[in-house]
A and B are shown apart, each in its own frame.
Chain A
Amino acid sequence: MLELLKNLAAWLTSSAQWSGPEGIATRVLEHLEYSVLATLAAAVIALPVGLLIGHTGRGAFLAVNLASFGRALPTVGLVTLVFLAGGLSVWPVYVSLVALAVPVIITNTYAGMAAVDPEVKDAAKGVGLRGRQILWQVEIPLALPLIMTGVRLATVQVVATATIAAYVSFGGLGRYVFDGLAQRDLVQVLGGAVLVAVLAVAADLALGGLTRLLFRGRPAAAR
């Protein structure tokens, strides 16, 4: 165990390990590329859907249960399926990561919208706001904390799961995990795992900071 940690320290600090096309720096950038693009794509799909369901109240059952469905969907199977359908390309990676993130964001966005006090909405109506104005000026600001929670959860899951790219021949930090498994090189696996965890935690903290920034000066909503 101690030996393993010592080797890990050596692995993580060797400059040769960090540079070059197979170096840690490249792998981290690749990993970020998959994660950021997938999360953004998922947000673009999921946010409007979640807001719509929350605003209209239609499809609430779907929104509530979607997260459960998303959790149940086996990523390995999805990657394999898209790979078999479309051949060797980066598509399987993105499809499965987006599929992982979309349900989380929809469910949380809906939950945020559903938690907005109906009386507040009534009051907004009472002062003469219309549907769209209520959505933008009342519902979304109030729902934002839960919406951001969804985005953060999705991001952490995507970063941890983007290792799957290596399964279908691509890069990212998963390379260390899959290659380390094939070579039974535990130091490499551990190094990859630590880097993924660090990246996930960093992404979570960054989004947390962003959320706080969004709520600066609006303490009531940011509760």
Chain B
Amino acid sequence: MTIEWGWFPDHTGELVRLTADHLATAVPAVLFGLLIALPLAVLAHRVRPLRGFVLGASNILYTIPSLAFFVLLLPVTGLTRTTAITGLTAYTLVVLVRNTVEGLDAVPARVREASRAMGTSPLRTLLTVELPLALPVIMAGVRVATVMSISLVSVASYIGYGGLGQLFTDGFQRNFPTPVIAGVALTLLLALVADAVLVSVQWLCTPWLRGASGPRRPKLRKRA
């Protein structure tokens, strides 16, 4: 398998276009995912009996092959980008819902009670105390969901909306590895950059967590 290096400079325009296309599918998926996951998670956190149902349902969504999702959406949203975005949105839910619930769970009851005792309404407590405190765990979920979405966009290439994944079907049909390699490399790079951006956003959003060591992973912290 040989790489034709000359192909790259010859196709920068196309690569840029496909990268933009890729993001135009992956980013809205995560944003819509958040928009749906936040209220669901709050509900699951508040109403105990719903918890198992919400978490279970989002878990099951995750076991459905992504391509099947896109195909089943065809009669509803047609052969459009909306189909790709909707399918990916469903996939982000499992991570986003679970992390948000876990984040809210981790907020000490004392803090919530103190806020309520000061006469703050439950909604205000949620928005101004609980969610900000849960932010690190939520953001960890957003990072995972973003990386996953960026990778999964390529599955939509089977319905023509795969962003960089279009390079996979193209290379496949022509027995031509170079575009496939370009697609894989750019997808990885895109995921890496997106993750780095989110880490920075998180760092900016949580000044109270800034220690000397910068942003930390909530779960893998090693005891000294």
Measured CB to CB, the residues of A under 8 A from B are 64, 68-69, 71-78, 80-81, 83-85, 111, 114, 117-118, 156, 159-161, 163, 174, 177-178, 180-181, 184, 186, 189-190, 192-193, 196-197, 200-201
In angstroms, Cα B220 to Cα A186, docked, is: 43
The answer to whether A186 and B188 have CB atoms under 8 Å apart is no
The answer to whether A85 and B1 have CB atoms under 8 Å apart is yes
Partner of B1, one of A75, A84, A177, A180: A84
The answer to whether B157 and A72 have CB atoms under 8 Å apart is no
Q: Which of B129-137, B170-178, B203-211 is the interface stretch? A: B170-178
What residues on B are CB-neighbors of A177 within 8 Å? 65, 67-68, 71
Chain B 121-148 near chain A by CB (<8 Å), digits 1 or 0: 0000000000000000000000110011
The answer to whether B68 and A189 have CB atoms under 8 Å apart is yes
Known: A72-B150, A114-B220, A196-B65. 9 other contacts (CB 8 A): A74-B154, A74-B165, A77-B154, A80-B169, A111-B219, A117-B223, A160-B65, A177-B68, A189-B71
In whole Å, how far is A143's beta carbon from the nearest beta carbon of chain B? 13
In angstroms, Cα B176 to Cα A118, docked, is: 52
Q: Does B36 count as interface, using CB distance less than 8 angstroms? A: no
Chain B 206-224 near chain A by CB (<8 Å), digits 1 or 0: 0000000000010110110
Give how many A-B residue pairs fall within 8 Å (CB-CB).
130
Partner of A156, one of B62, B71, B74, B154: B62
Interface set, chain B 140-188, CB cutoff 8 A to A: 143-144, 147-148, 150-155, 157-159, 162, 164-165, 167-169, 171-172, 175-177, 180-181, 183-184, 187-188
The answer to whether A77 and B64 have CB atoms under 8 Å apart is no
Query: Nearest residue in B to A79 (C-beta to C-beta)?
Result: B168
Count, chain B residues at interface, CB 8 A = 52
Q: Does B108 count as interface, using CB distance less than 8 angstroms? A: no
In angstroms, Cα B69 to Cα A180, docked, is: 12
The answer to whether B67 and A197 have CB atoms under 8 Å apart is no
